[in-house]
Amino acid sequence: MSMNSFGHVFRVTTWGESHGPALGATVDGCPPGVPLGEADLQLWLDKRKPGQSRYTTQRREADAVEILSGVFEGVTTGTPIQLMIRNTDQRSKDYGEIAEKFRPGHADITYWQKYGVRDYRGGGRSSARETAARVAAGGVARAALAKLVPGLAITGYMVRMGEREIDRARFDLAEVPQNPFWVPDAQAAEDWAAYLDGLRKSGNSVGATIEISARGVPAGLGAPIYAKLDTDLAAAMMSINAVKGVEIGEGMAAAELTGDANADEITLGPDGPEYSSNHAGGILGGISTGQEIVLRFAVKPTSSILTPRRTITKAGAATEIVTKGRHDPCVGIRAVPVGEAMAACVILDHLLLDRAQTGGERGAIG
Protein backbone atom coordinates (compact mmCIF):
# COMPACT_ATOMS: atom_id res chain seq x y z
CA MET A 1 0.00 0.00 0.00
CA SER A 2 2.92 2.30 -0.60
CA MET A 3 1.67 5.79 -1.20
CA ASN A 4 3.99 6.57 -4.08
CA SER A 5 3.64 3.43 -6.13
CA PHE A 6 1.20 2.14 -8.70
CA GLY A 7 0.73 -1.13 -10.53
CA HIS A 8 0.14 -4.74 -9.53
CA VAL A 9 3.03 -6.65 -11.13
CA PHE A 10 4.73 -3.92 -13.17
CA ARG A 11 5.07 -1.57 -10.25
CA VAL A 12 6.39 1.97 -10.42
CA THR A 13 7.42 4.10 -7.44
CA THR A 14 8.34 7.70 -8.14
CA TRP A 15 10.42 9.89 -5.86
CA GLY A 16 11.92 13.36 -5.82
CA GLU A 17 11.06 17.01 -5.57
CA SER A 18 11.16 19.81 -8.09
CA HIS A 19 14.25 21.52 -6.69
CA GLY A 20 16.11 18.68 -4.97
CA PRO A 21 19.22 17.16 -6.55
CA ALA A 22 17.25 14.66 -8.63
CA LEU A 23 13.99 12.80 -9.08
CA GLY A 24 13.16 9.48 -10.61
CA ALA A 25 11.30 6.21 -10.67
CA THR A 26 11.98 2.74 -9.31
CA VAL A 27 10.47 0.23 -11.74
CA ASP A 28 9.87 -3.24 -10.37
CA GLY A 29 8.49 -6.33 -12.11
CA CYS A 30 9.62 -5.56 -15.63
CA PRO A 31 9.96 -8.71 -17.74
CA PRO A 32 13.58 -9.74 -18.39
CA GLY A 33 15.22 -9.66 -21.81
CA VAL A 34 13.61 -6.42 -22.97
CA PRO A 35 16.03 -4.35 -25.08
CA LEU A 36 16.38 -1.04 -23.24
CA GLY A 37 18.71 1.92 -23.30
CA GLU A 38 18.58 5.49 -22.08
CA ALA A 39 17.83 6.69 -25.62
CA ASP A 40 14.61 4.66 -25.63
CA LEU A 41 13.42 6.64 -22.63
CA GLN A 42 14.85 10.02 -23.64
CA LEU A 43 12.65 9.93 -26.71
CA TRP A 44 9.55 10.27 -24.54
CA LEU A 45 11.09 12.63 -22.01
CA ASP A 46 11.97 15.05 -24.79
CA LYS A 47 8.33 15.07 -25.80
CA ARG A 48 7.35 16.21 -22.30
CA LYS A 49 10.32 18.52 -21.83
CA PRO A 50 9.46 22.13 -21.05
CA GLY A 51 10.61 25.12 -23.02
CA GLN A 52 10.02 23.63 -26.44
CA SER A 53 7.55 26.29 -27.48
CA ARG A 54 6.32 29.58 -26.06
CA TYR A 55 3.31 27.67 -24.78
CA THR A 56 5.12 25.81 -22.04
CA THR A 57 7.15 26.93 -19.05
CA GLN A 58 10.48 28.45 -19.96
CA ARG A 59 12.23 26.47 -17.26
CA ARG A 60 15.18 24.80 -19.02
CA GLU A 61 15.67 21.21 -17.97
CA ALA A 62 17.75 18.71 -19.89
CA ASP A 63 15.58 15.98 -18.38
CA ALA A 64 18.37 13.54 -19.15
CA VAL A 65 17.51 10.13 -17.73
CA GLU A 66 20.13 7.76 -16.30
CA ILE A 67 19.49 4.02 -15.88
CA LEU A 68 21.21 3.07 -12.63
CA SER A 69 20.17 -0.57 -12.36
CA GLY A 70 18.20 -3.44 -13.84
CA VAL A 71 19.70 -3.30 -17.33
CA PHE A 72 22.75 -5.31 -18.38
CA GLU A 73 24.33 -5.48 -21.82
CA GLY A 74 21.36 -3.66 -23.31
CA VAL A 75 18.52 -5.76 -21.93
CA THR A 76 16.46 -5.72 -18.76
CA THR A 77 17.47 -8.33 -16.21
CA GLY A 78 14.15 -8.63 -14.34
CA THR A 79 15.55 -6.78 -11.32
CA PRO A 80 14.48 -3.25 -10.31
CA ILE A 81 15.23 -0.53 -12.83
CA GLN A 82 16.23 2.75 -11.25
CA LEU A 83 15.66 5.79 -13.45
CA MET A 84 17.22 9.05 -12.28
CA ILE A 85 16.75 12.53 -13.71
CA ARG A 86 18.89 15.27 -12.23
CA ASN A 87 17.39 18.69 -11.59
CA THR A 88 19.65 21.18 -13.30
CA ASP A 89 17.71 24.42 -13.53
CA GLN A 90 17.15 25.34 -9.91
CA ARG A 91 17.27 29.09 -10.28
CA SER A 92 18.54 30.56 -7.04
CA LYS A 93 15.70 32.87 -6.05
CA ASP A 94 13.99 34.20 -3.02
CA TYR A 95 11.32 31.75 -1.99
CA GLY A 96 10.34 33.99 0.90
CA GLU A 97 6.89 34.76 -0.38
CA ILE A 98 5.74 31.27 -1.36
CA ALA A 99 7.42 29.89 1.73
CA GLU A 100 5.11 31.97 3.88
CA LYS A 101 1.96 32.27 1.76
CA PHE A 102 -0.32 29.46 0.56
CA ARG A 103 -1.01 29.74 -3.17
CA PRO A 104 -4.73 29.27 -3.92
CA GLY A 105 -5.35 26.11 -5.91
CA HIS A 106 -1.94 24.70 -4.98
CA ALA A 107 -1.11 21.85 -2.61
CA ASP A 108 0.81 24.31 -0.39
CA ILE A 109 -1.85 24.47 2.31
CA THR A 110 -2.82 20.79 2.35
CA TYR A 111 0.82 19.63 2.47
CA TRP A 112 1.40 22.01 5.36
CA GLN A 113 -1.69 20.87 7.22
CA LYS A 114 -0.97 17.17 6.71
CA TYR A 115 2.78 17.07 7.25
CA GLY A 116 3.56 20.20 9.24
CA VAL A 117 6.49 20.71 6.89
CA ARG A 118 6.80 21.17 3.13
CA ASP A 119 9.49 21.65 0.53
CA TYR A 120 8.08 24.84 -0.97
CA ARG A 121 10.84 25.18 -3.57
CA GLY A 122 9.02 24.94 -6.89
CA GLY A 123 6.15 23.15 -5.26
CA GLY A 124 8.34 20.27 -4.12
CA ARG A 125 6.58 16.98 -4.72
CA SER A 126 3.48 18.63 -6.20
CA SER A 127 5.47 20.10 -9.08
CA ALA A 128 4.66 18.96 -12.60
CA ARG A 129 8.27 17.82 -12.64
CA GLU A 130 7.21 14.62 -10.86
CA THR A 131 5.60 13.61 -14.15
CA ALA A 132 9.03 13.35 -15.79
CA ALA A 133 9.59 10.22 -13.72
CA ARG A 134 6.27 8.81 -14.93
CA VAL A 135 7.23 9.43 -18.54
CA ALA A 136 10.54 7.63 -18.02
CA ALA A 137 8.75 4.67 -16.44
CA GLY A 138 6.24 4.71 -19.27
CA GLY A 139 9.13 4.39 -21.67
CA VAL A 140 10.12 1.15 -19.95
CA ALA A 141 6.54 -0.08 -20.26
CA ARG A 142 6.49 0.81 -23.94
CA ALA A 143 9.71 -1.11 -24.53
CA ALA A 144 8.26 -4.19 -22.83
CA LEU A 145 4.98 -3.87 -24.75
CA ALA A 146 6.90 -3.57 -28.02
CA LYS A 147 8.43 -6.97 -27.29
CA LEU A 148 5.30 -8.67 -25.95
CA VAL A 149 2.58 -7.16 -28.15
CA PRO A 150 4.06 -5.87 -31.40
CA GLY A 151 1.67 -3.46 -33.06
CA LEU A 152 0.15 -2.14 -29.87
CA ALA A 153 0.03 1.66 -30.23
CA ILE A 154 -0.72 4.24 -27.54
CA THR A 155 -1.35 7.81 -28.68
CA GLY A 156 -2.44 10.87 -26.75
CA TYR A 157 -3.70 14.19 -28.08
CA MET A 158 -5.62 17.25 -26.95
CA VAL A 159 -9.29 17.49 -27.86
CA ARG A 160 -10.18 20.62 -25.91
CA MET A 161 -8.40 23.73 -24.68
CA GLY A 162 -10.66 25.99 -22.65
CA GLU A 163 -13.57 27.01 -24.84
CA ARG A 164 -12.02 25.52 -27.95
CA GLU A 165 -12.73 21.95 -29.09
CA ILE A 166 -11.43 19.95 -32.04
CA ASP A 167 -13.69 19.19 -34.98
CA ARG A 168 -13.90 15.38 -35.16
CA ALA A 169 -14.67 15.76 -38.87
CA ARG A 170 -11.10 17.00 -39.33
CA PHE A 171 -9.59 14.38 -36.99
CA ASP A 172 -6.15 13.35 -38.30
CA LEU A 173 -3.63 11.57 -36.04
CA ALA A 174 -0.87 12.54 -38.46
CA GLU A 175 -1.32 16.15 -37.36
CA VAL A 176 -0.60 15.40 -33.70
CA PRO A 177 3.20 15.74 -33.84
CA GLN A 178 2.95 18.66 -36.24
CA ASN A 179 1.86 21.30 -33.73
CA PRO A 180 2.79 22.39 -30.20
CA PHE A 181 -0.58 21.31 -28.82
CA TRP A 182 -0.56 17.65 -29.91
CA VAL A 183 -3.92 18.36 -31.52
CA PRO A 184 -5.20 16.07 -34.34
CA ASP A 185 -6.77 18.98 -36.23
CA ALA A 186 -4.57 21.40 -38.22
CA GLN A 187 -7.11 24.20 -38.18
CA ALA A 188 -7.65 23.91 -34.44
CA ALA A 189 -3.88 24.15 -33.97
CA GLU A 190 -3.80 27.56 -35.66
CA ASP A 191 -6.87 28.78 -33.86
CA TRP A 192 -5.62 27.61 -30.46
CA ALA A 193 -2.25 29.30 -30.94
CA ALA A 194 -3.89 32.71 -31.13
CA TYR A 195 -6.26 31.86 -28.28
CA LEU A 196 -3.45 30.72 -25.96
CA ASP A 197 -1.22 33.67 -26.85
CA GLY A 198 -3.97 35.95 -25.62
CA LEU A 199 -4.29 34.11 -22.32
CA ARG A 200 -0.53 33.86 -21.88
CA LYS A 201 0.00 37.58 -22.41
CA SER A 202 -2.68 38.40 -19.88
CA GLY A 203 -0.91 36.14 -17.40
CA ASN A 204 -3.86 33.80 -17.32
CA SER A 205 -4.00 30.01 -17.81
CA VAL A 206 -6.50 27.54 -19.21
CA GLY A 207 -7.62 23.93 -18.82
CA ALA A 208 -7.59 21.15 -21.38
CA THR A 209 -8.96 17.72 -22.21
CA ILE A 210 -6.58 14.99 -23.35
CA GLU A 211 -7.71 11.83 -25.11
CA ILE A 212 -5.66 8.65 -25.01
CA SER A 213 -6.12 5.96 -27.63
CA ALA A 214 -4.68 2.45 -27.31
CA ARG A 215 -4.93 0.29 -30.43
CA GLY A 216 -3.96 -3.38 -30.60
CA VAL A 217 -4.66 -4.18 -26.96
CA PRO A 218 -5.57 -7.88 -26.81
CA ALA A 219 -8.98 -8.94 -25.53
CA GLY A 220 -9.06 -10.27 -21.99
CA LEU A 221 -6.95 -7.78 -20.04
CA GLY A 222 -8.46 -6.60 -16.77
CA ALA A 223 -10.62 -8.12 -14.07
CA PRO A 224 -14.31 -7.97 -13.19
CA ILE A 225 -14.35 -5.87 -10.05
CA TYR A 226 -11.67 -3.75 -8.37
CA ALA A 227 -8.75 -4.48 -10.66
CA LYS A 228 -10.88 -3.53 -13.66
CA LEU A 229 -8.82 -2.23 -16.54
CA ASP A 230 -10.90 0.93 -16.56
CA THR A 231 -10.56 1.32 -12.78
CA ASP A 232 -6.79 1.21 -13.01
CA LEU A 233 -6.70 3.52 -16.03
CA ALA A 234 -8.96 5.99 -14.22
CA ALA A 235 -6.78 5.87 -11.12
CA ALA A 236 -3.63 6.30 -13.19
CA MET A 237 -4.98 9.41 -14.92
CA MET A 238 -6.52 10.90 -11.78
CA SER A 239 -3.16 10.50 -10.05
CA ILE A 240 -1.60 13.00 -12.49
CA ASN A 241 -1.55 16.40 -10.86
CA ALA A 242 -4.21 18.92 -11.95
CA VAL A 243 -6.47 16.19 -13.35
CA LYS A 244 -10.10 16.59 -12.21
CA GLY A 245 -12.01 14.09 -14.30
CA VAL A 246 -11.57 10.83 -16.21
CA GLU A 247 -13.88 9.07 -18.62
CA ILE A 248 -13.86 5.88 -20.70
CA GLY A 249 -15.67 5.56 -24.03
CA GLU A 250 -18.86 7.62 -23.83
CA GLY A 251 -17.77 8.73 -20.40
CA MET A 252 -19.91 11.28 -18.58
CA ALA A 253 -22.10 11.52 -21.68
CA ALA A 254 -23.23 7.92 -21.12
CA ALA A 255 -25.59 9.37 -18.52
CA GLU A 256 -27.50 11.08 -21.30
CA LEU A 257 -27.96 7.99 -23.45
CA THR A 258 -30.66 5.35 -23.67
CA GLY A 259 -29.90 1.64 -23.79
CA ASP A 260 -30.72 1.20 -27.45
CA ALA A 261 -28.45 4.12 -28.38
CA ASN A 262 -25.59 2.77 -26.28
CA ALA A 263 -25.38 -0.86 -27.41
CA ASP A 264 -22.29 -1.99 -29.34
CA GLU A 265 -23.63 -4.82 -31.49
CA ILE A 266 -21.41 -7.83 -32.08
CA THR A 267 -20.55 -9.67 -35.28
CA LEU A 268 -17.85 -12.22 -36.05
CA GLY A 269 -15.02 -10.98 -38.25
CA PRO A 270 -12.07 -12.85 -39.73
CA ASP A 271 -9.92 -12.20 -36.62
CA GLY A 272 -12.61 -12.59 -33.99
CA PRO A 273 -15.50 -10.53 -32.66
CA GLU A 274 -16.20 -7.15 -34.24
CA TYR A 275 -18.39 -4.39 -32.92
CA SER A 276 -20.77 -2.01 -34.68
CA SER A 277 -19.59 0.86 -32.50
CA ASN A 278 -17.40 1.56 -29.47
CA HIS A 279 -19.53 3.32 -26.88
CA ALA A 280 -17.80 1.14 -24.29
CA GLY A 281 -14.36 2.53 -25.13
CA GLY A 282 -12.93 -0.94 -25.59
CA ILE A 283 -13.70 -2.25 -22.11
CA LEU A 284 -16.66 -4.39 -20.99
CA GLY A 285 -17.07 -5.52 -17.39
CA GLY A 286 -13.58 -4.25 -16.63
CA ILE A 287 -11.97 -6.40 -19.35
CA SER A 288 -10.63 -5.32 -22.74
CA THR A 289 -12.69 -6.32 -25.79
CA GLY A 290 -9.86 -6.00 -28.30
CA GLN A 291 -11.35 -2.78 -29.68
CA GLU A 292 -9.52 0.54 -29.46
CA ILE A 293 -9.36 1.68 -25.83
CA VAL A 294 -10.43 5.33 -25.63
CA LEU A 295 -10.27 7.48 -22.51
CA ARG A 296 -10.18 11.18 -21.75
CA PHE A 297 -9.08 13.25 -18.78
CA ALA A 298 -9.51 16.90 -17.90
CA VAL A 299 -6.64 19.04 -16.68
CA LYS A 300 -7.51 22.16 -14.72
CA PRO A 301 -5.85 25.48 -15.51
CA THR A 302 -2.67 26.08 -13.51
CA SER A 303 -3.30 28.18 -10.45
CA SER A 304 -0.09 30.09 -11.04
CA ILE A 305 -1.42 33.26 -12.62
CA LEU A 306 -0.60 36.94 -12.56
CA THR A 307 -4.00 38.08 -11.28
CA PRO A 308 -3.65 38.83 -7.57
CA ARG A 309 -5.51 36.33 -5.40
CA ARG A 310 -6.51 36.56 -1.75
CA THR A 311 -4.90 34.06 0.58
CA ILE A 312 -3.37 33.71 4.05
CA THR A 313 0.10 33.24 5.49
CA LYS A 314 1.29 30.42 7.73
CA ALA A 315 0.83 32.90 10.56
CA GLY A 316 -2.81 33.21 9.49
CA ALA A 317 -2.60 36.79 8.22
CA ALA A 318 -4.80 37.78 5.29
CA THR A 319 -2.75 38.74 2.22
CA GLU A 320 -2.63 38.59 -1.57
CA ILE A 321 -0.40 36.63 -3.90
CA VAL A 322 0.66 36.80 -7.52
CA THR A 323 2.57 33.81 -8.80
CA LYS A 324 5.45 35.16 -10.82
CA GLY A 325 8.04 33.06 -12.54
CA ARG A 326 8.00 30.43 -15.26
CA HIS A 327 4.71 28.64 -15.68
CA ASP A 328 2.61 26.78 -18.19
CA PRO A 329 -0.31 28.77 -19.59
CA CYS A 330 -1.85 25.39 -20.48
CA VAL A 331 -0.25 22.60 -18.46
CA GLY A 332 -2.52 20.22 -20.37
CA ILE A 333 -0.08 20.36 -23.28
CA ARG A 334 2.63 18.60 -21.29
CA ALA A 335 0.07 16.22 -19.80
CA VAL A 336 -0.28 14.47 -23.17
CA PRO A 337 2.91 12.36 -22.95
CA VAL A 338 2.21 11.83 -19.25
CA GLY A 339 -1.20 10.33 -20.00
CA GLU A 340 0.36 8.12 -22.67
CA ALA A 341 2.98 6.93 -20.20
CA MET A 342 0.45 6.09 -17.51
CA ALA A 343 -1.68 4.18 -20.04
CA ALA A 344 1.37 2.20 -21.16
CA CYS A 345 2.19 1.26 -17.56
CA VAL A 346 -1.38 0.15 -16.81
CA ILE A 347 -1.75 -1.88 -20.00
CA LEU A 348 1.57 -3.68 -19.49
CA ASP A 349 0.70 -4.31 -15.86
CA HIS A 350 -2.59 -5.92 -16.82
CA LEU A 351 -0.93 -7.94 -19.55
CA LEU A 352 1.38 -9.42 -16.90
CA LEU A 353 -1.42 -9.83 -14.38
CA ASP A 354 -3.54 -11.63 -16.96
CA ARG A 355 -0.82 -14.11 -17.85
CA ALA A 356 -0.32 -14.72 -14.14
CA GLN A 357 -3.88 -15.86 -13.68
CA THR A 358 -4.85 -17.28 -17.08
CA GLY A 359 -1.48 -17.97 -18.70
CA GLY A 360 -2.76 -15.86 -21.59
CA GLU A 361 -5.13 -18.58 -22.83
CA ARG A 362 -8.43 -17.36 -24.30
CA GLY A 363 -11.92 -18.81 -24.55
CA ALA A 364 -12.60 -19.80 -28.15
CA ILE A 365 -15.38 -18.22 -30.19
CA GLY A 366 -16.54 -19.87 -33.36
Among 160, 188, 212, 337, binds a second copy (CB under 8 A): 160
The SS3 of residue 22 is strand
310 touches a second copy by CB under 8 A = yes
Shortest Å, Cβ 84 to a second copy: 8
Helices 38-48 and 332-358 cross at an angle (nearest 10°) of: 140
- Closest C-alpha to 171, from 184, 161, 180, 181: 184
Among 36, 65, 81, 128, binds a second copy (CB under 8 A): 81
Among 289, 340, 346, 347, binds a second copy (CB under 8 A): 289
Contact stretch for a second copy (CB under 8 A) within 30-38, 49-57, 166-174, 179-187: 30-38
The SS3 of residue 51 is coil
Shortest Å, Cβ 48 to a second copy: 17
Contact stretch for a second copy (CB under 8 A) within 48-56, 170-178, 185-193, 304-312: 304-312
173 touches a second copy by CB under 8 A = no
Other CB atoms within 10 A of residue 234 CB = 19
Where is 245: in which H helix or E strand? strand 243-248
Q: Which of residues 41-60 bind a second copy (CB under 8 A)?
A: none
95 touches a second copy by CB under 8 A = no
Other CB atoms within 10 A of residue 55 CB = 20
Please count the residues of this chain forming the interface with a second copy, following the rule CB under 8 A.
164
State the Cα angle at 18 between 17 and 21, rounded to 5°.
70
Q: Which of residues 176-215 bind a second copy (CB under 8 A)?
A: 199, 204-209
Among 193, 279, 292, 326, binds a second copy (CB under 8 A): 279
Among 69, 90, 155, 278, binds a second copy (CB under 8 A): 69
Among 47, 48, 49, 118, binds a second copy (CB under 8 A): 118
Among 167, 252, 322, 324, binds a second copy (CB under 8 A): 252
Burial of 130 (0-12, 13-18, 19+ CB in 10 A): buried
Residue 88 or 110: the one with the smaller Cβ distance to a second copy is 110
Q: What's phi and psi for 189, nearest 5 deg?
A: -55, -45
Burial of 207 (0-12, 13-18, 19+ CB in 10 A): middle
